[in-house]
Amino acid sequence: MEAREHILVVDDDPDICDLIREYLSGEGYRISTVNDGEAMRGLLERDPVALVILDLVLPGEDGLALARVLREHWDVGIIFLTGRGEIVDRIIGLEMGADDYLAKPFNLRELLARVRSVLRRVGQAGGAAGSGDHGGDGPVKARFAGWKLDLAARELLSPSGEQVRLTTGEFDLLVAFVRNANRVLSRDRLMVLARHREAGPLDRTIDVQVGRLRRKLEPDPDNPVLIKTVRGTGYIFTPTVEPV
């Protein structure tokens, strides 16, 4: 089987590294493993990576600090692995820009599903990207409230013309809003539209991503006018959206 996307596993547990490498290699992915942040940087500087599977608890720099480094310097998908049970750790991970998370111990088939989903959304999964997530549901370019969104280039320009960097999750959530402007969308519906999976009973993923998106779009994130909360239901994207 020809190797496809390159995935980097950052975990200080060699058994976890070996388990993921063996399983995902069997699914056709090229897998590299490292045990800390220094090794992660070294590999990324030598060899492009599509996705990083990142343990939250590491010696030295922890996963949260490394996620910040990844978002600042590399355009990759990020899936957090965490052995911690507290949901706050997962929320913080999403706040730091992770695309998804999986709690240890995890099911390998679920890990594979998350990997495929994130790779699709970052535009790395071969021919699936571009024709599955956003194609055929509306214009490829759109504008709203002075902002310009280019779905093909995955680019957002502010009213002043500056490019605004979005994580994969933020971009896909914005696309879901733009494609469904002036409709009330529940959190469950947004999870399906933006992340291609159903929400768990305690899943705060959408709320976290909405908060991040508001900080980048809204003049006053504490008093949002573009993405409004519909109490007890979900959210509504209020601007008029026009094709470009």
Long-range (24+ apart) CB contacts under 8 A made by 115-119 are: 115/7, 115/24, 115/29, 115/51, 115/53, 115/79, 117/195, 117/196, 117/197, 118/51, 118/77, 118/78, 118/79, 118/168, 119/5, 119/50, 119/51, 119/77
Mean pLDDT of the chain: 84
Looking at domain 6-128, its CATH class is: alpha beta
Q: Which of 31, 83, 84, 35 is nearest to 58 (CA)?
A: 35
Cα separation, 208 vs 219, in Å, equals 18
> Which of the pair, 89 or 184, is modelled with greater confidence?
184
Domain 141-243 has CATH 3.90.1150.10: no
pLDDT digits (tens, 9 = 90+) for 163-197: 998 887 888 899 999 999 999 999 888 888 876 66
Query: Looking at the chain, which residues constitute the CATH 3.40.50.2300 domain(s)?
Result: 6-128
Domain with CATH 1.10.10.10 in the chain: 141-243
Of 18-22, 29-33, 49-53, 73-77, the range with the lowest mean pLDDT is 73-77
Average pLDDT over residues 76-84: 84
Please tell me the predicted confidence (pLDDT) of residue 108. Answer: 94
Tell me which of 239 and 128 has the higher pLDDT. Answer: 239
DSSP element (H, E) containing 211: helix 205-217
Least confident of 40-44, 54-58, 89-93, 227-231: 89-93
> pLDDT (tens digit, 9 = 90+) per residue, 143-162?
999 999 998 888 999 999 99
Question: Which two tokens mark 108?
Answer: 């390998």
